[in-house]
Amino acid sequence: MTAVPSTVRTAGGDWALRPVLSYWSTCPLISRTFKGPGNSGFSDVSPALKWQISPIPGKVDLSVVVGMALPTGAVAIAGRGVQPYLQFPWSWELHDGWGVSGMFTEFFRPSDFTTKRITETTFVLEKKLTEQFSLFTEYVGDYPEGGGPSLLMNSGAIYRMNRTQQVDFHIAFGLNHNAPSYIVGVGYSFRFDGLFASHPR
């Protein structure tokens, strides 16, 4: 499993249903090992519903996401069967282009023979250099039930092409023996606004 910094940096689409409710889906991500033993293949397609809870006092933006990874990818990469998950992304805009964000996610893997649940926590520090270009660094911790944690430091850049599209580049380094030695990734994200909005007749 490869973690991404946040839902907005996931390669996929986002369709707004209401001002506080949206449907989004991650497209399959390809993983490939370039050196040493390892698994290669695509991840699962993961449709989800996102409910915007806030803003709340203190300008903290909080959401809840309920989704399900469908068994479309390679078992060695994505795991077995349908995998529901519950996610709480949050973000807080600070001053002078600085911001912090993170996610708490519970992944449920009912078809897995050994690990039935994985808890993931992330914490991101981001600096907006211009209206279109940002840098970020992120801590990612995966804590499987009955197993040792996988810890990563992930850093990269985001370029917002316009209000609904962006590209990103990131490189991550493992902090312990359970994590990959390093990960390099490039992503593209897009969003459709008002796709299901009602239009006056």
At 159, give phi and psi (nearest 5°).
-120, 115
Overall pTM surpassing 0.85 (yes/no): no
Residue 118: CB atoms within 10 A of its CB come to 22
- Point out which residues pair with 47 in neighbouring strands: 25
In whole angstroms, what is the distance from residue 113 CA to residue 115 CA? Answer: 6
pLDDT, tens digit (0-9, with 9 covering 90-100), for 82-109 = 999 999 999 999 999 999 999 999 999 9
pLDDT, tens digit (0-9, with 9 covering 90-100), for 14-46 = 444 445 777 777 776 777 666 666 677 778 888
- Contact (Cβ atoms closer than 8 angstroms) between residue 105 and residue 119: yes
pLDDT, tens digit (0-9, with 9 covering 90-100), for 2-12 = 333 333 344 44
Given this model, what pLDDT does residue 4 score?
Answer: 37
69 half-sphere exposure, CB direction, 13 A CA radius: 25
Residues in the chain: 201
Given this model, what pLDDT does residue 74 score?
Answer: 79
DSSP 112-140: -SS--EEEEEEEEEEEESSSSEEEEEEEE
